């Protein structure tokens, strides 16, 4: 009898301990992630300027947000940047992964080389590319010194093209990581299917087009989700590479949000832009999570 209750206590404890141990981190996350999301959403409806204040102004901040030319520019830039970044990264990543997957010698050495840019922070990438792309000291200058004096490449100084330099730097940084994801996906494909297809006389091209790439669907999805949220939140790269310039030409929603909240003393508008950004990410993540969580059942 006594032994039974002891056992009972033990199993009960075993049931409770994980919950007890997890409770603090869950509570912290509830407050500092979801709590502050709600707080930000609330601030976007207030007249907060330099510090949070609690006078409600309705949708006024959102109305002002969409009147601002800088915000429309930031949205436009994000569309260009995200589209190019995601597509180019995926294409380069997939190509590299397929090439590396040919059972070549030295793969162990090549893989980390492609992966290394990911180990750098965006600040370092941004600063390095800033110097590379600067016509006064970088690529253009070097080629001029080598004798190719008609070479001209000053995108980073031109309002209309500066956003593409952000794409270049970001693609350089992340392609290797996308490659690693696709490589893992490729390694997961059942060799038997490939052998069967080869026996049936499928060409290499058809093999990839009809069998391998369709099977990489989960890898594509993860790549898409990771790249798109990196694109929406990218801030440090722009700050280091162009500082939002020339003028305001490379302003993105994240840099916009920071400058309105912290340097322009318009916390309300900043919060409104943060809410819009959250909605954008949610619009991408929710269908993905829904699809992912539905499947196992």
Partner 1 sequence: MRGYLGKTLTIAAVLAMSAGIARAEGSVEVLHWWTSGGEAAALNVLKQDLQKEGIGWKDMPVAGGGGEQAMTVLRARVTAGDPPTAVQMLGYDIQDWAKQGVLANLDDIAAKDGWDKVVPAALQKFSKYDGHWIAVPVDVHSTNWVWANKKLLDGLGIAQPKTWDDFVAALQKVKDAGKIPLAMGGQPWQEATMFDGVVLSVGGPDFYKKAFIDLDPATLGGPQMVEAFKRMDQLKGFVDPNFSGRDWNLATAMVIKGDAAFQMMGDWAKGEFLRANMKPGVDFMCFRTPGTEGDVTFNSDQFVMFKVGKDQQAAQNAMAEAVMSPSFQSSFNVVKGSVPARTDVPDTAFDDCGKMAMAQLKQANDKGTLLGSMAHGHANPAAVKNAIYDVVTANFNGDYDAERAAKELVKAVALAQ
* 215 contributes a contact to partner 1 by CB under 8 A: no
Give whichever of 132 and 197 is closer to partner 1, judged by the CB atom. 132
Residue 44's closest CA among 248, 254, 277, 282?
A: 277
* 35 contributes a contact to partner 1 by CB under 8 A: no
- Separation between Cα atoms, residue 253 and residue 65, nearest integer Å: 11
Q: Reduce the DSSP state of residue 149 to 3 states and report it.
A: coil
Among 125, 165, 175, 242, contact with partner 1 (rule: CB under 8 A): 242
Least distance from C-beta 134 to partner 1, angstroms?
Answer: 7
Least distance from C-beta 243 to partner 1, angstroms?
Answer: 6
Q: Reduce the DSSP state of residue 56 to 3 states and report it.
A: strand
Least distance from C-beta 52 to partner 1, angstroms?
Answer: 8
Decide if 89 contacts 227 (C-beta within 8 A). yes
Buried b (16+ CB within 10 A) or exposed e, 50-87: eeeeeeeeeebbbeebeeeeebebbbebbeebbebbbe
- Separation between Cα atoms, residue 171 and residue 199, nearest integer Å: 38
Q: Reduce the DSSP state of residue 46 to 3 states and report it.
A: strand
* 281 contributes a contact to partner 1 by CB under 8 A: no
**Footprint of partner 1 on residues 126-185 (CB under 8 A)?**
130, 134-136, 154, 156-157, 159
Decide if 273 contacts 254 (C-beta within 8 A). no
- Count, residues in the chain: 297
Give whichever of 93 and 268 is closer to partner 1, judged by the CB atom. 268
Least distance from C-beta 56 to partner 1, angstroms?
Answer: 19
- Separation between Cα atoms, residue 235 and residue 77, nearest integer Å: 13
* 12 contributes a contact to partner 1 by CB under 8 A: no
* 246 contributes a contact to partner 1 by CB under 8 A: yes
Least distance from C-beta 204 to partner 1, angstroms?
Answer: 47
Stretch that binds partner 1, among 68-76, 105-113, 211-219, 271-279 (CB under 8 A): 68-76
Among 6, 23, 27, 50, contact with partner 1 (rule: CB under 8 A): 50
Give whichever of 71 and 182 is closer to partner 1, judged by the CB atom. 71
Give whichever of 222 and 259 is closer to partner 1, judged by the CB atom. 259
Decide if 170 contacts 227 (C-beta within 8 A). no
Least distance from C-beta 168 to partner 1, angstroms?
Answer: 16
Least distance from C-beta 69 to partner 1, angstroms?
Answer: 7
Q: At what angle do helices 162-187 and 122-133 cross, to 10 degrees?
A: 130
Give whichever of 55 and 136 is closer to partner 1, judged by the CB atom. 136
Give whichever of 215 and 259 is closer to partner 1, judged by the CB atom. 259
- Separation between Cα atoms, residue 167 and residue 163, nearest integer Å: 7
Q: What is the largest CA-CA distance in the chain?
A: 94
What is the binding site for partner 1 (CB under 8 A)?
49-51, 64, 67-70, 130, 134-136, 154, 156-157, 159, 242-243, 245-249, 259, 262-266
């Amino acid at each position: 009898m006594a032994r039974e209750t002891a056992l009972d206590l033990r199993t009960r404890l075993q049931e409770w301990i994980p919950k007890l141990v997890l409770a603090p981190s869950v509570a912290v996350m509830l407050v500092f992630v979801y709590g502050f999301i709600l707080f930000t959403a609330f601030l976007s409806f207030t007249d907060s300027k330099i510090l949070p204040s609690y006078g409600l102004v309705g949708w006024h901040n959102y109305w002002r947000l969409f009147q601002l030319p800088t915000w429309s520019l930031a949205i436009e830039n994000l569309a260009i940047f995200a589209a190019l970044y995601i597509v180019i990264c995926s294409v380069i990543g997939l190509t590299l992964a397929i090439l590396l997957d040919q059972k070549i010698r030295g793969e162990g050495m090549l893989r980390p080389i492609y992966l290394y840019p990911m180990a750098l922070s965006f600040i370092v990438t941004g600063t390095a590319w800033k110097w590379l792309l600067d016509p006064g000291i970088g690529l253009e200058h070097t080629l001029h010194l080598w004798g190719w004096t008609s070479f001209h490449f000053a995108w980073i100084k031109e309002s209309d093209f500066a956003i593409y330099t952000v794409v270049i730097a970001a693609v350089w940084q992340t392609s290797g990581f996308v490659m690693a994801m696709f490589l893992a996906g490729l390694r997961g494909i059942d060799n038997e299917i490939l052998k069967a297809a080869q026996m049936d006389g499928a060409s290499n091209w058809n093999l990839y087009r009809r069998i391998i790439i369709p099977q990489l669907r989960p890898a594509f999805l993860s790549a898409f989700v990771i790249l798109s949220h990196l694109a929406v939140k990218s801030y440090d790269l722009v700050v280091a590479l162009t500082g939002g310039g020339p003028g305001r030409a490379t302003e993105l929603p994240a840099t916009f949000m920071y400058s309105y909240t912290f340097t322009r003393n318009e916390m309300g508008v900043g919060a409104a832009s943060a809410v819009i950004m959250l909605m954008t990410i949610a619009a991408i993540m929710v269908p993905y999570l829904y699809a992912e969580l539905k499947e196992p059942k």
